[in-house]
Amino acid sequence: MNFQPLYGLYLIIFTSWTSDALYSSDPVQMFAQPGDRVTLPCGLPSVGSCSSINWTQRFYVWDSQVVTAGKVTYFKENKYNLLKDCSLEIPKMERDDAKLYTCESGALNSSVSLRFLDINETPTEDTVELLCSLSTFLGYVPCKNDTGINIIWTTENDVPITGKRFRFENPSVCFSKLIITKKVTDHHRTWKCQVTQNDVVKAIASYKTTITDGLEEVFAAVGESVSLLCRNTSSLRLGDSIEWTLNKKPLADMLPENGQTNVSNVSTDSSLVINTLIPLHAGDYQCMGSSDEQRVFHKFRLHTLNVTAKTDPDGENLTLTCLLTCAKECEENFNLTWSGSSQEGWQGRLLNVNNTLISELLLPVWPVSSDEITCSVYREGSLMASKSWHSVKSLQTLAWIGLPLGLLICAATAGVFIHWKRKRNQDLGSESVAKLSNISMTHIYDAIQDEEVEQQRQLNREVATTDDGLYNLLQTVN
């Protein structure tokens, strides 16, 4: 079975290559990315000098000499380097370098099989088939099953792919096929193929699928800025411009009083930038040319995530509500989860109303001021967006702390003043002054008492104002 490389859109990320066996009859498996600097270990024990070292590469069934008696003899200059430990270095790997290499010294030899991770796509009408293989210059070559190699498929966030619309075929440890039941929202989705050896990730390849008439799905939190890039505009006619629509209605015709737009603009690269996202921005967007044909270049489906808060009349229990506003009906594979520093006593429920997925969280005890509670939306197990809520109970707490502190300051000020007046009266030693002082002290006591009453009234008004402010703050969050 021979799969020649298909030059689609893919990204290969090389993580590491190590040798688990230095001297073995089986070749050591190594994985690299075209363009990488690769070092192939010689693997022979107790090699005192590289002058006796020979390196060969296997081309089909023929061996060609790369290093002879410790010197590079390959016909291409600077293609290979022999290092001090007799390892063979490839400064810049190419696909044709993925071959079998052998280090020899007398009767001893050790081989290294160099491969690269490759993803190809076989499009069909109803499915997308992705082929992941550890390939050589010949294409896919089967591996032995006892090499400890395993291929797994994950989402863009490295979450293993599961679900009814996914199937896997693994005819070899070095080859795996992912079969996806196609959806329009699979457009521009990224899928990963990971190769592990003895449970250690060795290499990762990514592939972004393209679906005809598909939609790129975007999740974003309310209050954030979102940029939708209009792609594939190379065929835009001279003098033509880009126009954006929301749910097939021109954005230019949507006035703010209709409740459809917030602050948005089209940037120089034709991207639609929404500066402050609101739930009403959820919907299907598309960019197109302004000519009569109005050719659609790219489509987006935008979902918004928000968190609101409310308290009971006593101000003790707190209810947080997470709302995912979907452009259309929320799909079954969407899920909302809560996370925070303390989850003791949390109670919640999940609802699906029209195009909104709702998760309510009841907190019997107010979180402390440093607590942050986060709601996250997942699509097929992969994290798409998060929205956090911060405790505002600290405002009310500060008001109640300020009440006894203010009374304490007033009492201390009055005590200092009284002590100063008494000392002054003693120094005068005059009965008339003492009498006048007593009259003055009576007036001061009355003034202090009036001041304390006024301070108490002012503090009561501040506490009431703080409670109202807290209520208004919570209403704003809602």
Give the tokens for residue 450: 């009036």
- pLDDT of 45 reads 81
Residue 445, phi-psi category: left (phi > 0), alpha (psi -120 to 50), beta (remainder): alpha
Q: Provide DSSP, 127-149.
A: EEEEEEEEEETTEE----TTS-E
Residue 151, CB-side half-sphere exposure with 13 Å CA sphere: 26
CA-angle at 251, arms to 247 and 255, nearest 5°? 110
Give the tokens for residue 325: 């506003």
Relative orientation angle of helices 431-477 and 393-428, to the nearest 10 degrees = 170
Q: What is the pTM of this model?
A: 0.70
- pLDDT of 281 reads 94
Taking CA atoms, 60 is separated from 89, 98, 99, 141, in Å, by: 21, 12, 9, 12
Strands of 124-250 (E only): list them. 127-136, 139-140, 149-155, 166-172, 175-181, 190-197, 200-208, 216-221, 226-228, 242-246, 249-250
Residue whose structure tokens are 């992969």 = 382
- pLDDT of 18 reads 38
- pLDDT of 413 reads 64
- pLDDT of 459 reads 36
* Amino acid found at 159: V
- pLDDT of 124 reads 87
DSSP conformation class of 341: S
Tell me the chain's radius of gyration from C-alpha atoms: 36
Direct distance between the N- and C-terminal alpha carbons of the chain, in angstroms, rounded to an integer? 60
**pLDDT, tens digit only, all 478 positions of the chain:** 444 443 333 444 444 443 333 444 678 888 887 888 999 999 888 777 899 999 999 988 888 999 999 999 998 888 999 999 999 999 999 989 999 999 999 889 999 999 988 899 987 889 999 999 988 888 887 777 767 888 999 999 999 999 899 999 988 888 999 999 999 999 999 999 999 888 888 888 899 999 999 999 999 999 999 999 988 777 777 777 888 999 988 887 665 544 444 456 777 778 899 999 999 999 999 998 877 667 889 999 999 999 999 887 776 778 899 999 999 999 999 999 998 866 666 777 888 888 999 999 988 766 665 678 899 999 999 999 999 998 755 444 444 444 455 555 655 665 655 655 566 555 545 444 344 344 343 443 344 345 444 544 543 444 343 334 333 323 333 3
Residue whose structure tokens are 């003098």 = 239
Q: Report helix, strand or coil for 319.
A: strand
* Amino acid found at 212: T
